Amino acid sequence: MSKAPAKPAANAEAAPAGKSKKKLIIMIAAGVLILAGVGGGAAIFLSKKNHPDKEHKAEPAKAPVFLPLEAFTVNLQSDTGDKYLQISMTLQVQDEEQVNLIKANMPQVRSRLLMLLSSKDAAELLSVEGKDKLVEDIVDQVKLPFTPKGEPQKVSGVFFTSFIVQ
């Protein structure tokens, strides 16, 4: 009978150890869940803080403003006889204020462009590279200030609507 009291003592010791292990596992799991929640919240908070401009990018882009110019017809430089350029174009400008400024100074703009166009060689204008260079030259001429020490015009592009070399 001495064996019988020994077994209940072993069972009595095992029961409290099992309950404390369950409590320990539950506490560890709760701690992991809390840490995961805090970490996830911090990650969301920091990602919004690092990219505040994402919320402001929803603004619609400003529509481009175009200013069509009257057609130009000029004599071109050529070694093989008379060559002519008939060209129509549209300028892309920053805003309506620029449109009004350029319109108010249209005689200067047309004169600058006539001088530029008539200085070109017919052969160079036939290539894509020549047309690209002409676009750059036109933008440069239109951007020149209309008054000494004045602000340059804000022209961002030139689009040909007609381009004939004869």
Whole-model pTM over 0.85: no
* In a shared domain, residues 72 and 150: yes
Q: Which two tokens stand for residue 47?
A: 């990602």
pLDDT-derived band at 164 (thresholds 50, 70, 90) equals very high
* In a shared domain, residues 122 and 70: yes
Burial of 133 (0-12, 13-18, 19+ CB in 10 A): middle
* In a shared domain, residues 35 and 101: no
pLDDT-derived band at 37 (thresholds 50, 70, 90) equals confident
More confident residue, 49 or 111: 111
Backbone angles phi, psi at 127, to 5 degrees: -85, 160
Longest dimension (CA), the chain: 133
* In a shared domain, residues 95 and 146: yes
Identify the pLDDT of residue 76: 92
- Residue 36 pLDDT greater than 90, yes or no: no
* In a shared domain, residues 15 and 70: no
Q: Contact 93/156 with Cβ under 8 angstroms? A: yes
61-82 confidence digits (pLDDT tens): 788 899 999 999 999 988 888 8
Residue 56, CB-side half-sphere exposure with 13 Å CA sphere: 3
Domain count within the chain: 2
Identify the pLDDT of residue 15: 52
* In a shared domain, residues 50 and 114: no
User: What average pLDDT score do residues 27-33 get?
Assistant: 83
Q: Which domain, by its residues, includes 140?
A: 65-165
User: What average pLDDT score do residues 120-127 get?
Assistant: 91
Identify the pLDDT of residue 55: 55
- Residue 53 pLDDT greater than 60, yes or no: no
